[in-house]
Amino acid sequence: MLVAYVLVGADEAAAPSALAPFGADLKVPARQAIKAAEVKSQAIECLAPANATQWIVENPPEGTAAKLFTVEERDGKNILNISAGELVPARSTVRILLPGDGPANGDLWAKNRASYISFLCKSSKPSQMTFHLLQRGKTAGTFQTGFSAKPGEWQRIILPIQLFDLKSFAKIAGIGFRTASAEKGTDVSIADFRVGGIAYTDDSWKSHRLSISINGDWHFATDPGEQGMKDKWYADTFDDSQWKILKSGLSWQEQGISHYGYAWYRQKIFVPKEFAGVPLTLNLVQIQSDDDTWFNGARIGGFSSEYKYKNWNTRAYTVPPSLIRYGENNTIAIRIWGGKITFIGEKSGLVKGPLVAELDPYCVKMREPGGADVPFDLFDLSDARQGKPFEIVFSLPAEMAKEQGAKLRYSLSDLLGNEIKSGETTLSTGADQIAKAVVGIDRETAQAVYLRGRLQASLVIEDAAGNPLYSGIREMDRLSFAKRDNQPLPALPEKTEDTPYGKLRLVDEIDCAISLFEDPHPYLESGFSHAASHYTPGIPVQVKVVDILGKKARESEFGWFAYRIGRGKLKPHTDYLLRIEYPEDKPRFAPIEIQTGQNFMDVGWRNGTGPDSVYDNWPLSKKWQWYDVIIPLDDQTVGTAGTGSASAENGVWVYFMNKLKPNMYYAMWEGGPAVASMKLYEIDPEKNAPLIQKPKGLPSRVLSFDWERQPDHNPADLVRYAKLMGYNAISPVILKWFFANYSDPFNGYDSMVIDDHDYWAHKAYDPAGGKSADSPWPGKKSQHVRYLEETKRYGIDYIPRVEWGGSQDLPKEAWVVEVNGEPAKPNRFAPWCGNILNPLTWDDLKKFMDHLIKPYVKDNPQLTGMLWRIRCDRMRISYGQADLELFSKETSTKLPPGGKAQQAAWATGEGKAQYDAWWHQKRVDFHRKLVELLKSYCSDMTLYYYNWEGDKFGLILPSNTTWAFNKNLINAPNGAKAVYEKDEAERRKFTAADYIETVRTGNFGASSGGINRADYGIRPNLYKDIKGIQLFAPANYLCYADLPEYLNYFQTADGLAVSNAVPYDEIGSRSINPKYEGNMITPAGAPFSMAFELLPYFHGDARTLNYTVYTYGRGFADAHRRFAQAFLALPAIPGTVVEQGDKDLKVRVYHSVNGTYVGVAYKGYAAKKLTVKVPAKAGAKITNLVTGQSVPTTAAGNDLQFDLESGPMELNAFLVQP
């Protein structure tokens, strides 16, 4: 709830007065008679044999020897024959630049008022094609539309110009065809190209429609206490006469209103009686935040979500006739959320936009078969997914039905032109003098419409001779799926099941093999396409149910499918366990998104690709397995309008993505995810958390996670998640990028607060403004404070992550200087870098630490340190004159003669090794001071440090998920798999020494675009005497996570710390929903999912293991919890290796006052019975710290030995007591 601190001054807006209703003075124009335009048709002479040589194939298939087209004369026709099944879909173009002066052809068509292009078509097999209009200087895909090619007799294809998003054919220089989808061996024949004009267009009866401007003065009020809903400000009878008056078309900030929260607009609109029975559509403005709209007191629309589909941003709400008082005034009430919101800015309210109300007697309607007509955007299509038939009603003036023999030909397609259904129907005129054409939608077509999400119709009225009289497009872009969004499925009968997490209540289960016609669960599917990015998805994709390892499972081609799981009412801000049944039959790359609002998770698994892989050599079990994810439920999920526009109470969407684009991405794998079933359970963070036997009175190890995304969630959700997963620490980013401070306001930083609608309230700091930093929402707790409260409540350590590089108050003399003498620029977001060589930089950091950490230490023992992650390369090595002089003074090195430029060049050339070594020691000294500062707050505090910027970290070579790598896959001469194989072959050549030299020198080569700078390096040997700092070793790939020399290079006085900085892929970003960016997936199956945690313990006795991702979340939760039980049971003290005679077995003992702790790490890939020997006297008691059970032992000289049935890559912990 917003507090009432926002006041609108009397001089900030116009004084109250009576407003004239919109449309009150509008005279309804007389309905004009419809007149046919004079038009003519002309042939496009491009198929004569003489023109055959001018047809070419652009971007033909690699290495093809097949003839891809012919131009011939047959049966009295000149025919273009296209081998559609051999072309590269959506790429190979069979095209011609028209004979003569190409552009003049299009100009001539335009001069003759041509408004359609047509041709005859037939094919040997059903196929989907695209037709392209070519302009010089533009790609073939610029102006295109789809059509269906069918076997049988010649069919006339008529393509209205509107399908190409053009108003004129001017400048068209050529035509072309591409295959969208066709079986091998499919031939498509084309003949008789023509262009022509249409006698009637939608403009022929524009006088039958009415537009009423609603752009002007509105009654306006802010709602700081959110009283509007309680006092029914939306009601038709509410008295708004004392409200202020604002103009639409401008934000409320532009009109002097300083307000964060909801504000209301109200006005009257007069609807003429001449349009009785006609729906009214309110076309408002683009609203990037949340809104609600009422008409005469009834809510007619509104959407939430910071990530809406672009086709829903500009609000348009249809009012049914039943709510309209024709011939009278009607009330519009609009509520909009606004303020200074990140990525939106101060652009709140009824900003610039259409702002028009439209009355169209010919709007498209839908209905149940034989039922009442409903405006299409009010007709709920949710049940179409299960094949419920419906009808589409196209309306036209009665004059269109008077032509004897007239018929309407239609083609229903998605918004990208992929045809769903085509046919013809008759026109009939009713008493209302409106001609109607009814198109019946059968079971299969209804489901196809549902799955495409967006719909358009191309309409052509022909006379008895087949000549087109009218053509037009009807876009049905905003289909209604209200029931899908708002109605829960019935709850299951009460049932509990035994799981690895205890006995849990089953909430829902889905059999993914069930036909979509039978399964009641909401479902979506789509292919990947940049053309659909940020828009309602629905690209056609092949999804099949197949037999795998004796079970049926659902899987898709390049694309995705998704279910909404959940029955009854789920409980936001509680926790659930999702179990996904999947096969390990072949190498699968399986990204998943679980859309739980602000807590969304982009997880998944990847199987091994073969025993010789340097990245993923995990063996396949050849069995069905469970992939488990713990879900902290937010209150939102995906809805019709986009991410976060539906309530999570009714269930959450789970997306399964196949990113294996043929001969391109992820060619080392053989399939995407296949899923047999899913189950959803309730899970309790107290009763079902893993029991961890922490070493009493001894230093604890750290199992933590941090993530890139801003902390825009409820902190309690993520802290509970950490507890259920077995983590003992959490590191949300509190200072992000250059500016974003999610702690309490502090000078030098922009203040960020998460508002009640999950937007990022933002108040910029002005270094020159003379004003102190302030909250954009006074009284609202910062995310830092909220995390302190929740970690204390749940007993989880809190290690805030900061991406510090200097505040905005850092003086210019403390900026890093580049070799050229200019301020060094970070690689993104920030304008300058902080220079550790200048004492002002330390002063700047100390101020922030005194603000962020110091005040909270006393009352928050769980505040155990800080994670400093370098972002944007903001702490670069500096070559300023003062820096070089300091180097000279401290090292007694004489600088070469010449000026600043020559000396800086020396420091990066001949003197580089010496200057770099000195700078590294200066950075160590800077870190030492920070450690001492933290310990002055509390002696137990630790500085965790990660030195690198990249989200997709790679050493020497780029990560194989980066665009730097992916670009090599496009049109690879020997195929994409060869690119992956070459990368692996190169990786096999590298040794631990190569990787160590890279991180020592900072010469990262191709992995960072050729960067070779000291600040990219780290030299842990310089930290050997500093207690209280841990340097994270990146270990996100097997090729260096399994190298003991590499890992142990990072040892400091506090031991080894490792970050599994998961490289995420961004293929299909924003394509499944607007919030989706990429996936962070772990090895599979469950025994190998903790490989990058087990190996650092095995090789280096790692004390801190951190999981760094873009979005929080990780699968194989049971394996993670079990690892946590073993790892965190061992004390963070030096251990001693006890040789066992097995290269895959590492046993360490840790002597303490509690007894001797024993860590047993087995890195073999197959389960094995181990015999473990440890120094202990006969009669000593050994307890398994994971199970809590006593372990039978036998004496073996001065040792005790015991047997252990170990799974693959498993860690166990024991305690030996006398």
Q: Does domain 41-197 have CATH number 2.60.120.430?
A: yes
Query: Residue 1149: in which H helix or E strand, if any?
Result: strand 1145-1152
pLDDT, position 1035: 97
9, pLDDT greater than 60: no
Asked if 671 and 1088 touch (Cβ cutoff 8 Å), the reply is: no
Query: Model's pTM, two decimal places?
Result: 0.95
Q: Is the C-alpha dihedral spanning 658, 663, 665, 667 positive or negative? A: positive
Start-to-end C-alpha separation, the chain: 59
Q: Is the C-alpha dihedral spanning 110, 111, 114, 115 positive or negative? A: positive
Cβ neighbors of 1051 (< 8 A, separation 6 or more) are: 1020, 1100
Taking Cα atoms as reference points, which of 937, 728, 747 lies closest to residue 853?
937
Q: pLDDT tens across 262-291, in order?
A: 999 999 999 999 999 999 999 999 999 999
Asked if 245 and 317 touch (Cβ cutoff 8 Å), the reply is: no
Asked if 395 and 435 touch (Cβ cutoff 8 Å), the reply is: yes
Instruction: Classify residue 985 as exposed, middle or buried by CB count within 10 Å of its CB (0-12, 13-18, 19+).
Output: exposed
pLDDT, position 41: 86
Longest dimension (CA), the chain: 110
Taking Cα atoms as reference points, which of 21, 423, 485 lies closest to residue 240?
21
* Domain 489-682 architecture: Sandwich (2.60)
Q: What is the mean pLDDT of residues 775-799?
A: 97
Taking Cα atoms as reference points, which of 532, 381, 516 lies closest to residue 450?
381
Q: Is the C-alpha dihedral spanning 791, 795, 796, 801 positive or negative? A: positive
Sorting pLDDT into bands at 50, 70 and 90, what band is 2?
very low
Query: Which residues face 735 on adjacent strands?
Result: 741, 802
Q: pLDDT tens across 881-938, in order?
A: 999 999 999 999 999 999 999 999 999 999 999 999 999 999 999 999 999 999 999 9
Q: Is 827 or 319 the better-scoring residue by pLDDT? A: 319
Asked if 875 and 811 touch (Cβ cutoff 8 Å), the reply is: no
For 644-658, give the DSSP string. Answer: EEEEGGG-EEEEEEE
Q: How many CB atoms lie within 10 A of CB 779?
A: 9
Asked if 669 and 587 touch (Cβ cutoff 8 Å), the reply is: yes
Three-state SS at 111: helix
Q: By mean pLDDT, which of 460-464, 864-868, 1129-1133 is the weakest? A: 460-464
Asked if domains 206-359 and 365-480 share a fold, the reply is no
pLDDT, position 17: 66
DSSP 139: -
Helical packing angle, 900-907 and 881-891, nearest 10°: 60
Q: How far apart are CA 18 and CA 20, in angstroms?
A: 7
262: its two tokens:
């909801």
Q: pLDDT tens across 515-536, in order?
A: 999 999 999 999 998 888 999 9
Q: How many percent of the chain have pLDDT more than 70?
A: 98
pLDDT, position 48: 86
Sorting pLDDT into bands at 50, 70 and 90, what band is 104?
low
Q: Does domain 365-480 have CATH number 2.60.40.10?
A: yes
Residue 610, sorted as left (phi over 0), alpha (psi -120 to 50) or beta, turns out to be left
Asked if 282 and 319 touch (Cβ cutoff 8 Å), the reply is: yes
Q: Is 76 or 215 the better-scoring residue by pLDDT? A: 215
Q: How far apart are CA 726 and CA 1124, in angstroms?
A: 5
Sorting pLDDT into bands at 50, 70 and 90, what band is 100?
low
Asked if 336 and 289 touch (Cβ cutoff 8 Å), the reply is: yes
8, pLDDT greater than 50: no
Three-state SS at 901: helix
- Helices and strands: H and E segment counts in the chain: 16, 69
Q: Amino acid letter at 133?
A: L
Average confidence score pLDDT of the chain: 95
Q: Is the C-alpha dihedral spanning 990, 993, 994, 996 positive or negative? A: positive
Q: How many percent of the chain have pLDDT more than 90?
A: 88
pLDDT, position 7: 30
Which segments of 1089-1175 does DSSP mark as H helices, in order? 1091-1100, 1117-1127
Taking Cα atoms as reference points, which of 750, 720, 755, 719 lies closest to residue 735?
750
pLDDT, position 10: 30
How many C-alpha atoms does 675 have within 13 Å on its Cβ side?
Answer: 31
Sorting pLDDT into bands at 50, 70 and 90, what band is 11?
very low
Q: Is 478 or 971 the better-scoring residue by pLDDT? A: 478
47: its two tokens:
């198929």
In Å, what is the CA distance from 315 to each residue of 286, 382, 951? 6, 21, 36
pLDDT, position 738: 84
In Å, what is the CA distance from 581 to each residue of 508, 587, 603, 1116? 14, 16, 15, 12
Q: Is the C-alpha dihedral spanning 1188, 1194, 1196, 1202 positive or negative? A: negative
Cβ neighbors of 1164 (< 8 A, separation 6 or more) are: 1144, 1145, 1206, 1208, 1209
Q: How far apart are CA 760 and CA 711, in angstroms?
A: 9
846, pLDDT greater than 70: yes
Q: What is the mean pLDDT of residues 339-360?
A: 96
pLDDT, position 16: 61
Q: What is the mean pLDDT of residues 56-63?
A: 89
Radius of gyration of the chain (CA): 34
Cβ neighbors of 1012 (< 8 A, separation 6 or more) are: 1001, 1002, 1003, 1004, 1005
DSSP 786: H
In Å, what is the CA distance from 884 to each residue of 9, 713, 907, 918? 57, 46, 8, 11
668: its two tokens:
């080392």
109 phi and psi, to 5 degrees? -60, -45
Q: How far apart are CA 902 and CA 905, in angstroms?
A: 5
Cβ neighbors of 287 (< 8 A, separation 6 or more) are: 313, 314, 315, 336
Sorting pLDDT into bands at 50, 70 and 90, what band is 14?
low
Instruction: Using alpha carbons only, give the angle 498, 595, 416 rounded to the nearest 5 degrees.
Output: 135
Would you identify the CATH topology of the domain 206-359?
Jelly Rolls (2.60.120)
Sorting pLDDT into bands at 50, 70 and 90, what band is 67?
confident
6, pLDDT greater than 70: no
Q: How far apart are CA 580 and CA 1112, in angstroms?
A: 19
DSSP 279: -
Q: pLDDT tens across 896-907, in order?
A: 999 999 999 999
Residue with tokens 């007619």: 300
* Dihedral angle, C-alpha 1173, 1174, 1177, 1183, nearest 10 °: -100
Would you identify the CATH topology of the domain 1136-1217?
Immunoglobulin-like (2.60.40)
Q: pLDDT tens across 578-614, in order?
A: 999 999 999 999 999 999 999 999 999 999 999 999 9
12, pLDDT greater than 50: no
DSSP 822: S
813: its two tokens:
């003399």
Sorting pLDDT into bands at 50, 70 and 90, what band is 13?
low
What is the layout of strands, in order, in the sheet containing 434-441?
A: 374-375, 365-367, 390-397, 434-441, 428-429
pLDDT, position 717: 98
Asked if 419 and 430 touch (Cβ cutoff 8 Å), the reply is: no
What is the layout of strands, in order, in the sheet containing 1145-1152?
A: 1136-1138, 1145-1152, 1155-1162, 1210-1217, 1181-1184
pLDDT, position 50: 83
DSSP 151: S
In Å, what is the CA distance from 824 to each residue of 532, 737, 879, 883, 911? 39, 16, 9, 14, 20
Instruction: Classify residue 1119 as exposed, middle or buried by CB count within 10 Å of its CB (0-12, 13-18, 19+).
Output: buried
Residue ranges per domain, the chain? Answer: 41-197, 206-359, 365-480, 489-682, 1136-1217
Asked if 1070 and 1014 touch (Cβ cutoff 8 Å), the reply is: no
Q: How far apart are CA 636 and CA 652, in angstroms?
A: 8
546, pLDDT greater than 90: yes
Asked if 1183 and 1155 touch (Cβ cutoff 8 Å), the reply is: no
